[in-house]
Amino acid sequence: MTTETTLPPQGEKLQKILAGAGLGSRREMERWITDGRISVNGSKANLGDRATLADIITVDGRAIKLDAYASGIRRVIAYNKPEGEICSRLDKEGRPTVFDKLPRLKGERWIAIGRLDLNTSGLLLFTNDGELASRLMHPSHAIEREYAVRVMGEITQQKVKNLFDGVELEDGMARFTDIVDSGGTGINHWFHVCVLEGRNREVRRLWESQDLMWTRCWLKSRQHWLKNSGGRNVRRMATTPTLIPKGFQVDSRRQMSEPPGA
């Protein structure tokens, strides 16, 4: 979708412009400003500063292009991550990263909407729109993520109830908002579970709190935000579930599109 972004006469908040230009999430851009990495027309920027498309904005002394923000083109890619890839851009150990599989962008970069750990496979979303990424990742929006998990151990109704009611982890209370028994044989059992947060290894730690071990974890679906009409200058938002479609093979990607009539 292509639209023309029109800023108000007084300009837009700097972190929003930078996020919209695909440099990172709005929160990350706020850190860049605080760290003194951003300048506007030769002067160090401060949180709360505004800018227009006519201003010269630099990051670490290098002018950035605002073509992507001005055009209003939002790109979203779904990637079916395999096990063995990390979600960082660079890895000191030289392991493959999910960013290695994405098409190159000019003047902007892909932002991962959430993360999966090394041994988890499943759906990841990437966008060039930092504002979209911020809305998806902020806990206040309660974006649901559904996992298929293979669990090993003695699973009782009380343990399942504990996971649904909530347990205390080292970083606070956590719970599954939905737990569906999907069957299994022997000591291995499959469950489909949902969480509303994206804390580090949250699904694994929830099962481990009940002395159970997950042997495989697969992110099956997540909600993503789509603007109802127009481009990045339109603020009304709606959520829609994104499922891994049949035939969407591991280690492959697909361009997402907005639904008809959006």
Asked if residue 44 has pLDDT above 90, the reply is yes
**Domain contains 41:** yes
**Domain contains 7:** no
**Domain contains 144:** yes
Pair (88, 175) in one structural domain: yes
Band of pLDDT at residue 224, cut at 50, 70 and 90 = very low
CATH number for 184: 3.30.2350.10
What residues make up the domain containing 28? Answer: 12-71
Pair (51, 152) in one structural domain: no
Q: Can you give the pLDDT at residue 158? A: 94
Provide mean pLDDT across the span 57-67.
85
Pair (31, 107) in one structural domain: no
Tens digits of residue pLDDT in 227-262: 332 333 322 233 344 555 556 666 667 776 543 333
Pair (91, 141) in one structural domain: yes
Band of pLDDT at residue 1, cut at 50, 70 and 90 = very low
Tens digits of residue pLDDT in 109-120: 888 887 788 888
Q: Which of 67, 91, 117, 165 is catalytic?
A: 117
Pair (33, 151) in one structural domain: no
Instruction: Considering only residues 223 and 238, tell me which one the structure prediction assigns the higher pLDDT.
Output: 223
**Domain contains 103:** yes
**Domain contains 6:** no
Instruction: Considering only residues 158 and 6, tell me which one the structure prediction assigns the higher pLDDT.
Output: 158
Other CB atoms within a 10 A radius of the CB of residue 220 amount to: 17
Pair (168, 143) in one structural domain: yes
Instruction: Considering only residues 11 and 232, tell me which one the structure prediction assigns the higher pLDDT.
Output: 11
Band of pLDDT at residue 221, cut at 50, 70 and 90 = low
Band of pLDDT at residue 68, cut at 50, 70 and 90 = low
Q: Can you give the pLDDT at residue 12? A: 84
- Which of 58-67, 96-105, 135-144, 171-180 is least confident? 135-144
Q: What's the domain count of the chain?
A: 2
Pair (250, 123) in one structural domain: yes
Pair (204, 178) in one structural domain: yes
Q: What is the 3-state secondary structure (H, E, C) of the chain?
A: CCCCCCCCCCCEEHHHHHHHCCCCCHHHHHHHHHCCCEEECCEECCCCCEECCCCCEEECCEECCCHHHHHCCCCEEEEEECCCCECCCCCCCCCCEHHHHCCCCCCCCCEEECCCCCCCEEEEEEECCHHHHHHHHCHHHCCCEEEEEEEECCCCHHHHHHHHHCEEECCEEECCCEEEECCCCCCEEEEEEEECCCCCCHHHHHHHCCCCEEEEEEEEEEEEEEECCCCCCCCCEEEEEEECCCCCCCCCEEECCCCCCC
The proportion of the chain whose per-residue pLDDT surpasses 90, expressed as a percent, equals 18
Q: Can you give the pLDDT at residue 258? A: 44
Query: Quick check: is 178 catalytic?
Result: no
Q: Can you give the pLDDT at residue 161? A: 93
Tens digits of residue pLDDT in 78-92: 888 888 888 888 888
Pair (227, 169) in one structural domain: yes
Q: Can you give the pLDDT at residue 183? A: 83
Q: Which residue reads 């990495």 in tokens?
A: 37
CATH number for 24: 3.10.290.10
- Which of 72-76, 93-97, 102-106, 194-198 is least confident? 72-76
Q: Can you give the pLDDT at residue 59? A: 92
Q: Can you give the pLDDT at residue 67? A: 67
Asked if residue 138 has pLDDT above 70, the reply is no
